[in-house]
Every structure is written in C-alpha cells, then in structure tokens.
Amino acid sequence: MLKEMNIELPILPTTVIGSYPRPKWLRHMIRLYKAGRIDEKTLQESFDDAVIAVVKEQEDAGIDIPSDGEMRRDEMVEYFAQRIKGFRFYGPVRVWGNNFFNKPAVVDKLVYEKPIVIDEYMFLRKVSRRPVVKVTITGPYTIADWSFNEYYSSKQELVYELAKIINREILELEKAGAKFVQVDEPALTTHPEEMEWAVEAVNEVTKGVNIKLGIHVCYSNYEILSKYFDKLNFSQFALEFANRSFRDLHILKRLGDKEIGFGVVDVHSRRIETPEEVAQAIRKVMEIVDVERIYINPDCGLKLLPREIAKAKMEVMVRGVNIIREELRRKGVEKIIMRR
Ligand SMILES: [Zn+2]
C-alpha cells in the first residue's frame, strides 16, 4: 500500500521526465570549455544559469514538478559511470547509424566515492518555486546493459553492485531533502530472459528509502513490464503512450494501487499536439486508472527537440490537463496528497 506524504498537489500533477534541450548558448560554452578557452568555474556558472532558465520555462508552462533539465549531463549512462570509481572509457563506439556513444567499461571493483547528483538537487531546490521537484537517476540495469563488463563474473553481479551504489545515492538525496526521485530504466525489458533477477536487483535501489520513487521505462515491451508492476518496489511508473497512439492502455489494469506517470506528448515528433488531444488521452486513461493515481508527463525526456517545440509541448500538455481539471473542479475534485 502506498503511504501518504505531507504534500498536497493539484489533481493530475504535471511533471517532466527529466531532460530538456540545452540552450544554444550553453552548447557554445561547453565547446569553449572543451577547447580550453573558458575555465571550469565559468562552465559551472553557465550550467547554473541554464538550470535557472529551463526551470523557469517549465514553471511558466505550468509544470507542477520540474526537473533541472539534466543540463549538466551529456548522456544518461556516461554521466554516472564517470562518477563511480571502477569505470573507464576506451572511446566512442558506434551504436546506430552515425551515432556514437562513449561506452563505459567496468574494469575494477565499483566504489561509491562521493555523492553524484546531490549538488544538482540542491541547486534545483534553491531555484524552483514549486513544493516538489524531480531528481532523475539512471538505473543500475541500464548502466550495466550499456557498459562493457570486464570485472564482475556476471551481468547479474554487476547490476547488484550498481544497485547498491544507486541506493546509497538515493539515501543521500533523501537526507538532503529530496521528495521525489525517478529511476530511469529504458533497458529494463530488452532481455526478457533476465527480467526475474533484473527486477530483484533494481528493487535493491529502494531499500530503506522513505521518499517517493518512480521508475521510467520507455519504448519498451509493456506487456512484459506490466507483469512486474506489483513486484517493482516503486510507487509510480512513468510510461510513454503518445508515441504508441495510446494503444496498450489495458496493461494499466495491472497497476494495482500504484500510480501512472502518463505520457501524453510524443517526444519523437515535432508536431505539437492540441490541448483537446491531450484531454482526450487523459479521459481514456481515467476509464482504467483512478484519477488520484494519474500524473501527467511527456513520453520521455524533451532533450532532442528544438527548445521552442519542447516548450510548446509542455504548454499544450498543461492546457490539456486544465480542461480535465475544470471538469473535475465542478465535481469538487481539486487536490491530491502525494504518496510514496
Ligand atoms: Zn525515456
């Protein structure tokens, strides 16, 4: 059973998955830094300023639970591998087409040396005017799946070791005051034969944690994932549905008392949805899931979209939510209590 937290949110709280397009000027500053033309301090100041800008953009759009847009992270696996002792990088490998990924290798016993994203959280907390912000962490299964394992005797052992490290990081975040952490596991269903132990291992990150934990799994086989809704020790599943034209909603019957982070705008398309399309999708999901268990988000991180389209998608999302909120307000339903 989910437990109530002492936090009130508007009904159908709106949030983002995490990443947001980096402002053009920030990309320019990163290039200057790599060329040795600005110092570390100036780069950090640029990251801070970018976070201020994108948090404001999210809040102006009406997002209830903003993120820092992952401004400081080049890539979701690399960022964590660079900050856990025991990884090394051999250089970029080709993943698809002409896209390269700086694939990390585990070459030694993994050690949690120091907090990874606590500073990110502290800065976001200082900048945001909202009662709750979202911190995202790449999950242990995805980090392992996208890395070379040259040290542990099995992938399973590696995922467990990573899970213990991520667990320590989440406990640190809780200590620092974070209320909502989302673990990103896009790779979770990619090897169905590993699901049984993968779910157990991923649960390791939740041990002893008393704040809200969500898990984001995208462009994945939800038939497989939904069999584990109950077993996965997370209160919320943030899933992508716009990209699949809101098919597969039936899998949400397996949610039990857990929550859905319902993806209503497609981040793989530049077409901007209409508020009515968003409202219509929410009406559909409300036929399956109680409204108090629905959060609204884009399908996935907005990072790869042009910034003005990302912004427009958030605005449309909130306008769609507001159509439904108005209908609910007439029935006296306006708030929910956040649960973990
Ligand atoms: Zn995603």
CATH code, domain carrying 21: 3.20.20.210
**For helices 118-127 and 155-176, what crossing angle results, to 10°?**
40
What is the spatial distance between Cα 83 and Cα 334, in angstroms, rounded to a whole number?
A: 42
- Classified as helix, coil or strand, 217 is strand
**Cα(134) to centroid(ligand 1), Å:** 15
The domain tally of the chain equals 1
pLDDT at 270 (0 to 100): 98
**Cα(149) to centroid(ligand 1), Å:** 24
Q: What is the pLDDT along the chain (340 residues), one digit of tens a residue?
A: 899 999 999 999 999 999 999 999 999 999 999 999 999 999 999 999 999 999 999 999 999 999 999 999 999 999 999 999 999 999 898 888 888 889 999 999 999 999 999 999 999 999 999 999 999 999 999 999 999 999 999 999 999 999 999 999 999 999 999 999 999 999 999 999 999 999 999 999 999 999 999 999 999 999 999 999 999 999 999 999 999 999 999 999 999 999 999 999 999 999 999 999 999 999 999 999 999 999 999 999 999 999 999 999 999 999 999 999 999 999 999 999 999 9
**Cα(297) to centroid(ligand 1), Å:** 11
Q: Give the residue numbers spanning the domain of 70.
A: 4-339
**Cα(245) to centroid(ligand 1), Å:** 16
pLDDT at 100 (0 to 100): 85
**Cα(4) to centroid(ligand 1), Å:** 27
Q: φ and ψ at 8, to 5 degrees?
A: -100, 140
pTM (whole model) above 0.95:
yes
**Cα(56) to centroid(ligand 1), Å:** 22
Q: What residues form DSSP beta bridges with 183? A: 137, 215
Among 125, 236, 130, residue whose Cα is nearest residue 173: 125
What is the spatial distance between Cα 115 and Cα 157, in angstroms, rounded to a whole number?
A: 22
Tokens of 109: 């016993």
The amino acid present at 330, given as its one-letter code, is R
**Cα(151) to centroid(ligand 1), Å:** 28
Q: Residue 212: how many CB atoms within 10 A of its CB?
A: 24
Torsional sign, CA 21, 280, 340, 55: positive
What is the spatial distance between Cα 137 and Cα 64, in angstroms, rounded to a whole number?
A: 20
Report the b/e string of 231-240 with b at 16+ CB within 10 A. ebbbbbbbbb
**Cα(301) to centroid(ligand 1), Å:** 6
**Cα(184) to centroid(ligand 1), Å:** 7
What is the spatial distance between Cα 183 and Cα 218, in angstroms, rounded to a whole number?
A: 12
